[in-house]
């Protein structure tokens, strides 16, 4: 009977591991897709300028399109990319489409950038300490001569 309990426990642990791995992988995949869309949307200078306009407040499509030498349809395509990335939200009032800036995707992108920055700064600090130790050893060796 003890063998059955061990097998049952092992099976339950295996299932838990697989379940947790599935959830974690799904979260990473979801996070990567969202991040890819965010950075893809931010890669274009026109879309970045549109977002900068929206930092001053909500705007309708025609107002957002005014500074650009492109058709309203061209600006609308940029707005669709920003919407799919979750960077703007559209509200319709009859024929007028108003857009509002959404900060969450940019906050998530900034958090990712901060994690990489902390990682690299930590590694560079360690590398600097290592080089300092090498320099001290070299200086000590030169002084011993």
Q: In sequence order, which residues have a C-beta less than 8 Å from that of residue 91 and are 6 or more positions away?
A: 58, 97, 98, 99, 100
Tell me which residue of 38, 19, 33 sits closest to 107, measured CA to CA. 38
Q: Above 50 in pLDDT, residue 27?
A: no
In this prediction, residue 28 carries a pLDDT of: 46
Rounded Cα distance between 47 and 76, Å, is 11
Which segments within the chain are labelled E, that is strand? 59-60, 88-93, 96-101
65 or 6, which is more confident: 65
In this prediction, residue 26 carries a pLDDT of: 42
3-state helix, strand and coil shares in percent for the chain, rounded to the nearest 5: 75, 10, 15
Residue in the block written with tokens 């947790």: 20
Which pTM value belongs to this model?
Answer: 0.61
Stretch 103-131: mean pLDDT, rounded? Answer: 82
Q: Write 31-34 long-range contacts (CB < 8 A, 24+).
A: 31/108, 34/85, 34/86, 34/105, 34/108
Q: Above 50 in pLDDT, residue 29?
A: no
Model confidence pLDDT, tens digit, residues 86-104: 999 999 988 888 999 998 8
Total residue length of the chain: 145
In this prediction, residue 95 carries a pLDDT of: 87
Check: CB of residue 99 under 8 Å from CB of residue 60: yes
Q: Above 80 in pLDDT, residue 2?
A: no
């Amino acid at each position: 009977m003890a063998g059955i309990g061990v097998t049952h426990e092992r099976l339950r642990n295996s299932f838990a591991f697989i379940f947790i791995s599935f959830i974690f992988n799904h979260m990473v995949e979801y996070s990567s897709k969202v991040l890819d869309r965010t950075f893809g949307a931010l890669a274009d200078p026109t879309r970045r300028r549109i977002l900068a306009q929206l930092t001053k407040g909500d705007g309708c499509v025609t107002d957002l399109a005014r500074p650009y030498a492109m058709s309203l349809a061209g600006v609308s395509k940029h707005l669709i990319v920003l919407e799919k990335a979750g960077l703007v939200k559209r509200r319709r009032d009859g024929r007028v489409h108003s857009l509002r800036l959404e900060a969450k995707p940019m906050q998530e992108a900034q958090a990712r950038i901060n994690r990489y920055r902390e990682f690299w700064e930590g590694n560079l600090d360690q590398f600097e300490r290592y080089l300092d130790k090498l320099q001290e050893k070299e200086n000590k060796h030169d002084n011993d001569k």
